[in-house]
């Protein structure tokens, strides 16, 4: 079975009728529709020019692995459109955390 591309139209949600005829004689039908598109909340830009991003772990091997994972995540699609990803990442990696013996802290002004 292959996926079929089904682009979303500008003027409305996609709808599909899903129908099932069972061997026992049952007949069920459902109409499915796209969830409404909700615009993302825009947050005020953080006034600070630099942010500290920290990685803290218990072993040196874990430090290398976590740094690689963070780099992969930063290069991925989750961060593409989020203009506030650096302040959020800084807060997440530095606040309310127990910091361990092996750590790296990087000051950054952008993700570039």
pLDDT, one tens digit per residue, over 84-105 is 888 889 999 999 788 899 999 9
Q: Which residue range is the domain that position 88 belongs to? A: 51-108
Domain-located, residue 14 = no
Q: For the beta carbon of residue 19, count every other beta carbon within 10 angstroms.
A: 10
CB-CB contact of 34 with 8 (8 Å) = yes
The DSSP symbol for 88 reads H
Specify the residue for token string 């218990």.
Answer: 58
Domain-located, residue 18 = no
Comparing CA positions, the residue from 83, 77, 16, 76 lying closest to residue 46 is 83
Q: 43 pLDDT band (50/70/90 cuts)?
A: low
Q: CB under 8 Å to 21, separation ≥6 — which residues?
A: 27
Domain-located, residue 21 = no
Q: What pLDDT is attached to residue 67?
A: 93
Q: CB under 8 Å to 89, separation ≥6 — which residues?
A: 51, 53, 74
Q: What's the whole-model pTM score?
A: 0.56
Q: What pLDDT is attached to residue 42?
A: 67
Domain-located, residue 10 = no
The number of distinct structural domains making up the chain is 1
């Amino acid at each position: 079975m292959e996926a079929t591309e089904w682009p979303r139209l500008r003027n409305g949600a996609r709808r599909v009728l899903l129908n099932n005829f069972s061997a026992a004689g049952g007949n069920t039908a459902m109409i499915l529709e796209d969830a409404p598109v909700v615009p993302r909340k825009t947050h005020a830009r953080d006034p600070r020019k630099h942010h500290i991003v920290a990685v803290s772990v218990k072993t040196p091997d874990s430090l290398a692995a976590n740094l690689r994972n963070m780099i992969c995540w930063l290069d991925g699609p989750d961060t593409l459109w989020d203009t506030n990803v650096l302040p959020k990442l800084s807060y997440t990696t530095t606040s309310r955390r127990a910091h361990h013996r092996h750590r790296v802290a990087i000051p950054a002004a952008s993700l570039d």
